[in-house]
């Protein structure tokens, strides 16, 4: 009587990098998967790893090509492969473009790994990025009582990072607390450019109405009121998202959540994401949004701790910044100074936050 | 003696509430058009679940805020309560606003619009506007609060600011129109709506335009457009309710109106109606016959029984003689529309005589006089209520605000009768009687026929009541005549006054033979030849 060996289940190539050395980086530990929600979201299937080289730890993101072919992403396998490959390549090239931006996560290396010798189909494209200690949400969670000064410091860095991207005509589009990366003994950088958009460069991130995390989306994205002009659409979105990060640091919620859920009647909420009942136009709902926005800003203001130096009160400027960045009407964002030059708005924000941080 | 309102002309003009109250009272601020349900986005549910997972894994208030708000949006009460409970258990780590949101989840509370709160709300609204001057909603709310306090120039400035910021917004336009109606500027009230580009496509604005056109005595040019909307299938029924009512009411004025068509429109207005539509239908039921009698029609009774339709409930209870219920509903109607004189008239009417609550009448009249300082009937009602309590100085003071030169015959009857009541309560029954007789004479022609029996009978039974309170020698005789009149008048308020007269004359035994007496002749005083025969 003979015994047949049970077939060995196939482990996807992207899941098998642990223990390998890629471009000098030792793949130390496998982390979580990051799956896009559907094939058109602009993301791609990936697996994360901690890697080390010469004592330095970094983060490796491996593109899981096989999973594209296994999962029904709502399109043909070939189309899915093409789109996700394009998304991966876009993120890789955007990171390279952002290489000299000191407040944007740095790409340290990239390449293709062949997991099985002689098997040309076993290749796994990867990107190696610098690794932060936490994202800002976890930083606030783990470090109790983060001071106002520290928060302003981090926001200063976020503003610089965003300004650097905008100066290169890159819109982040997915700025949120989990994409603000923090070093305990340092500052912050912007991470995850996977949803970015570059002016003049078509990408899958330009296809959906809003490429980023919809729970943070600005109102115009959820009421289907997006301007076809690249500048008038992308920059105000980033300003809103930046303002929302400011709000989060002091209210533990997002501006979108406060404005579109907490202070807005269900009749006026967008059907998209917040499951409201509004079927009218954005213009018609705008007065109600402005009203709830006032409440949201007031709530933000109420949560601001008093300054340590009463003669240097950071609160007025910070509230004004949120009021300017998060206005529900995208045409009114970033118009605080210089008659509406939105690229200048971030320069101003950087200057103000720098002053507030030093004064705090 | 009070005003009589149930016969007054009624238009289905917009209700005026604060923005907060308007979003809660009916769906007038929601999207009117029927549209296809949005495409389900699976990633939204994934985002939500991921956020809840992050909270469950992290167990931190920093992970709690986002999923809590998402859970509330999805009516996922169990998850919302679970997260809220966690937040409240970790309040030392949560910021105040997050704790407040969590607390509201576990301990929901309601906030009523409070007319007395206008004084407290105005500074808050001003601070809001100082921080954010381009908030049209806040300007409109400020206009309402200023109106409640009688600061009309401030109110107008605020309303103009609201209109400037949001000239085509439904809430702003309807509020503004109602404001100008309140200011007696019917032309402006109508023009705002007639000129807005939003009106032709919005059933709420069309309804308001047609109703204000009728109030202003002009013809709406949107009647045909209104019919198109009513016959189409683009709007939810609720959003067509006031439009159907407005069109029906307006077309019902025409001498060539087809009664069946009008009745159908009013019936349509009662399919998923607004509170205002029900009130208009109740008015039709007692004044035009375009709606079935509310005391007999089962659907109408069901509406009255189950919905917070205070104005309709108040009037229906009033005409059915249930004055306790009528007062309760009229007070709620007043709380909903505290700038309006109409509910205050009804409250003060019922309170001071029919259910013996003159203090309630005084309180409501005083509140209503701030936004209505020139409403003579309110001053009159206030005077009467004070007189009933024996507060003669206050009664005279209130009456001194009444400018008689502008009053019509009906209003003069009320004022004269109130003077008579004051005289009686001051211990001068002869003067009092003379004044009541003067009032009644205004509705009696040279041949002694009653030109308005309703008003005459009201005045007469009130005289009988005052005579009874004053214990005059004529009291019993007048009571008997009043009893006779009440049977002819067939009005519950008349009957109620007669009952109260009987209560006062506790020792009176009704002489059945006196009931058939057709004529009572009164001498004004013992040495006067002046008489009145009833």
pLDDT at B530: 46
Q: Which of B106, B134, B159 is the last residue of a domain?
A: B106
Digit-coded pLDDT (tens) for A299-324: 999 999 999 888 889 999 999 999 99
For A186-221, letters b (16+ CB in 10 Å) and e give ebbbbbbbbbbbbeeeebbbeebebbbbbbbbbbbb
What is the pLDDT averaged over residues A3-32? 86
Pairwise CA distance, residues B101 & B111, whole Å: 15
What is the pLDDT averaged over residues B35-57? 83
Q: Report how many domains make up chain B.
A: 2
Residue B492 lies in a domain: yes
The DSSP code sequence of B497-508 is HHHHHHHHSTT-
Query: Domain limits of chain A?
Result: 13-130, 134-359
Which A residues 56-115 touch B at CB under 8 Å?
Answer: none
Task: State chain A's mean pLDDT as an integer.
Answer: 88
Which A residues 26-45 touch B at CB under 8 Å?
Answer: 37-38, 41
Q: What are the distances in angstroms from CA A232 to CA A235, A329, B52, B164? A: 6, 11, 34, 25
Helices B341-349 and B376-388 cross at an angle (nearest 10°) of 20
Residue B523 lies in a domain: yes
Digit-coded pLDDT (tens) for B355-410: 989 999 999 999 999 999 999 999 999 999 999 999 999 999 999 999 988 788 88
User: Does A151 touch chain B if contact means CB atoms closer than 8 Å?
Assistant: no
Counting every residue written for chain A, the total comes to: 360
Residue B195 lies in a domain: no
What is the pLDDT averaged over residues A4-27? 87
Pairwise CA distance, residues A278 & A292, whole Å: 15
Residue B514 lies in a domain: yes
Residue B56 lies in a domain: yes
- Note whether A265 contacts B23, CB cutoff 8 Å: yes
Helix residue spans in B271-375 (DSSP H): 275-287, 298-306, 310-319, 323-336, 341-349, 358-369
Judge contact between A180 and A188, C-beta under 8 A: yes
Digit-coded pLDDT (tens) for A136-159: 999 999 887 899 999 999 999 999
Poorest-pLDDT segment among B77-86, B185-194, B393-402, B479-488: B479-488
Which H or E run contains A188? strand A188-190
Q: Which of B27, B41, B135 sits opposite A290 (nearest CB)?
A: B135
Pairwise CA distance, residues B183 & A12, whole Å: 76
Interface mutation target, options A273, A281, A319, A321, chain B, most CBs of B under 10 Å? A273
Poorest-pLDDT segment among A115-119, A137-141, A269-273, B165-169: A115-119
Chain B CB contacts of A141 under 8 Å are 58, 60, 62-63
pLDDT at A348: 87
What is the pLDDT averaged over residues B233-259? 93
Name all contacts of B425-428 with Cβ < 8 Å and 24+ positions apart.
B425/B387, B425/B388, B425/B390, B425/B392, B425/B395, B425/B466, B425/B469, B426/B392, B427/B470
pLDDT confidence of B295, banded at 50, 70, 90? confident
Give B220 or B40, the one with higher predicted confidence: B220
Judge contact between A158 and A242, C-beta under 8 A: yes
Q: Which of B106, B122, B154 is the last residue of a domain?
A: B106
Chain A CB contacts of B236 under 8 Å are none
pLDDT at B411: 85
Q: Which CATH superfamily groups domain A13-130?
A: Phosphorylase Kinase; domain 1 (3.30.200.20)
pLDDT at A343: 58
Helix residue spans in B168-274 (DSSP H): 170-182, 186-195, 203-216, 223-231, 237-251, 259-269
pLDDT at A205: 73
Residue-number span of the structural domain to which B482 is assigned = 403-533
pLDDT confidence of A34, banded at 50, 70, 90? low
- Note whether B70 contacts A251, CB cutoff 8 Å: no
Beta bridge partners of B523: B531
Residue B48 lies in a domain: yes
Pairwise CA distance, residues A150 & B40, whole Å: 41
Quick check: A36 pLDDT over 80? no
Quick check: B513 pLDDT over 80? no
- Note whether A261 contacts B131, CB cutoff 8 Å: no
Pairwise CA distance, residues B164 & A46, whole Å: 52
Q: Which CATH superfamily groups domain A134-359?
A: Transferase(Phosphotransferase) domain 1 (1.10.510.10)
Pairing state between β A56-63 and A107-114: unpaired
What is the ipTM for the molecules in this complex? 0.89
Coil/strand/helix, residue A189? strand
Summarize chain B as % helix, strand, coil (round to 5): 65, 0, 30
Residue B209 lies in a domain: no
Digit-coded pLDDT (tens) for A106-119: 999 999 999 888 88
pLDDT at B512: 38
Tokens 């610098």 sit on residue: A130
Judge contact between B363 and B335, C-beta under 8 A: no
Residue B517 lies in a domain: yes
What are the residues whose beta carbons fall under 8 Å from the beta carbon of B73, sequence distance 6 or more?
A261, A269, A273, A274, A275, A276
Chain A nearest CA to B276, separation (Å): 20
Pairwise CA distance, residues A105 & A133, whole Å: 12
Quick check: B509 pLDDT over 50? no
User: Does A334 touch chain B if contact means CB atoms closer than 8 Å?
Assistant: no
Q: Which of B106, B125, B154 is the last residue of a domain?
A: B106
Digit-coded pLDDT (tens) for B321-350: 899 999 999 999 999 999 999 999 999 999
What is the pLDDT averaged over residues A255-275? 92
pLDDT confidence of B449, banded at 50, 70, 90? confident
């Amino acid at each position: 009587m003979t015994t047949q060996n049970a077939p060995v289940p196939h482990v996807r190539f992207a899941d098998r990098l642990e223990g390998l050395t890629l471009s000098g980086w030792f793949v130390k530990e496998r982390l979580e998967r990051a799956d896009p929600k559907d094939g058109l979201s602009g993301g791609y299937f990936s697996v994360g790893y901690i890697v080390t080289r010469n004592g330095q730890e970094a983060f490796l993101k491996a593109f899981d090509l096989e999973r594209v072919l296994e999962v029904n992403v709502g399109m043909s396998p070939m189309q899915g492969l093409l789109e996700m490959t394009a998304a991966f390549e876009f993120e890789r090239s955007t990171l390279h473009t952002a290489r000299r931006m000191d407040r944007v996560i740095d790409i340290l290396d990239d390449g293709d790994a062949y997991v099985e010798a002689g098997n040309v189909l076993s290749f796994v494209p990867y990107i190696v990025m610098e690794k932060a200690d936490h994202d800002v949400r976890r930083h606030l969670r783990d470090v109790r009582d983060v001071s106002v000064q520290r928060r302003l410091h981090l926001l200063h860095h976020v503003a610089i990072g965003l300004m650097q991207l905008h100066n290169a005509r890159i819109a982040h589009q997915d700025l949120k607390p989990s994409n603000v990366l923090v070093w305990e003994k340092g500052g912050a950088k912007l991470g995850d450019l996977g949803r970015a958009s570059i002016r003049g460069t078509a990408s899958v991130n330009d296809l959906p109405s809003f490429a980023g995390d919809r729970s943070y989306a600005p109102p115009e994205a959820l009421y289907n009121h997006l301007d076809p002009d690249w500048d008038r659409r992308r920059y105000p979105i980033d300003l809103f998202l930046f303002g929302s990060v400011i709000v989060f640091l002091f209210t533990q919620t997002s501006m979108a959540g406060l404005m579109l859920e907490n202070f807005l009647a269900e009749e006026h909420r967008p059907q998209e994401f917040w499951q409201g009942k509004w079927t009218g136009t954005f213009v018609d709902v705008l007065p109600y949004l402005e009203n709830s926005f006032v409440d949201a800003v007031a709530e933000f203001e109420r949560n601001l701790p008093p300054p340590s130096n009463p003669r240097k009160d950071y609160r007025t400027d910070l509230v004004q910044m949120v009021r300017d960045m998060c206005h529900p009407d995208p045409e009114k964002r970033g118009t605080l100074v210089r008659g509406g030059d939105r690229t200048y708005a971030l320069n101003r924000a950087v200057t103000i936050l720098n002053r507030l941080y030093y004064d705090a | 003696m009070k005003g009589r309102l149930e016969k007054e002309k009624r238009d289905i003009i917009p209700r005026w509430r604060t923005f907060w109250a308007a979003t809660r009272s009916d769906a007038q601020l929601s999207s009117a058009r029927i549209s296809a349900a949005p495409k389900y986005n699976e990633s939204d549910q994934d985002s939500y679940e991921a956020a809840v997972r992050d909270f469950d894994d992290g167990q931190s208030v920093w992970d709690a805020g986002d999923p809590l708000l998402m859970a509330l949006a999805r009516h996922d009460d169990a998850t919302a309560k679970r997260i809220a409970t966690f937040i409240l258990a970790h309040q030392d780590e949560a910021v105040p606003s997050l704790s407040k949101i969590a607390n509201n989840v576990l301990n929901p509370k309601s906030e009523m619009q409070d007319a007395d709160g206008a004084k407290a709300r105005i500074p808050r609204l001003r601070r809001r506007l100082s921080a954010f001057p381009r908030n049209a909603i806040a300007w409109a709310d400020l206009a309402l609060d200023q109106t409640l306090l009688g600061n009309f120039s401030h109110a107008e400035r605020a309303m103009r600011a609201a209109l400037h910021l949001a000239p085509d917004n439904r809430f702003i336009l309807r509020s503004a129109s109602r404001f100008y109606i309140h200011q007696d500027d019917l032309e402006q009230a109508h023009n705002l709506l007639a000129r807005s580009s939003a009106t032709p496509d919005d059933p709420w604005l069309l309804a308001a335009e047609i109703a204000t056109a009728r109030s202003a005595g002009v013809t709406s040019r949107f009647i045909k457009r209104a019919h198109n909307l009513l016959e189409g299938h683009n709007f939810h029924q609720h959003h067509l309710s006031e439009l159907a009512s407005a069109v029906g009411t307006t077309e019902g004025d025409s001498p060539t109106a087809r009664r069946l068509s009008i009745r159908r429109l009013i019936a349509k207005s009662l399919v998923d109606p607004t509170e205002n539509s029900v009130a208009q239908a109740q008015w039709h039921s007692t004044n035009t016959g375009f709606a079935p009698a509310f005391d007999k029609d089962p659907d109408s009774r069901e509406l009255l029984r189950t919905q917070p339709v205070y104005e309709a409930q108040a009037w229906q209870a009033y005409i059915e003689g249930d004055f306790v219920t009528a007062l309760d509903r009229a007070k709620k109607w007043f709380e909903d529309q505290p700038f309006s004189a109409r509910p205050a008239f009804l409250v003060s009417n019922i309170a001071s005589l029919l259910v013996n609550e003159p203090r309630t009448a005084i309180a409501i009249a005083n509140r209503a006089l701030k936004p209505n300082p020139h409403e003579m009937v309110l001053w009159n009602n206030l005077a009467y209520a004070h007189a009933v309590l024996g507060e003669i100085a206050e009664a005279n003071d209130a009456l001194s605000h009444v400018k008689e030169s502008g009053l019509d015959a009906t209003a003069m009857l009320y004022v004269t009768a109130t003077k008579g009541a004051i005289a009686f309560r001051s211990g001068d029954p002869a003067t009092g009687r003379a004044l009541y007789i003067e009032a009644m004479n205004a509705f009696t022609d040279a041949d002694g026929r009653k030109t308005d029996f309703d008003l005459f009978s009201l005045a007469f039974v009130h005289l009988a009541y005052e005579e009874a309170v004053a214990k005059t020698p004529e009291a019993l005789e007048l009571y008997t005549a009043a009893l006779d009149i009440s049977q002819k008048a067939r009005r519950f308020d008349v009957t109620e006054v007669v009952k109260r007269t009987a209560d006062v004359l506790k020792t009176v035994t009704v002489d059945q033979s006196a009931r058939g007496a057709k004529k009572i002749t009164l001498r004004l005083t013992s040495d006067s030849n002046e008489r009145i025969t009833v």
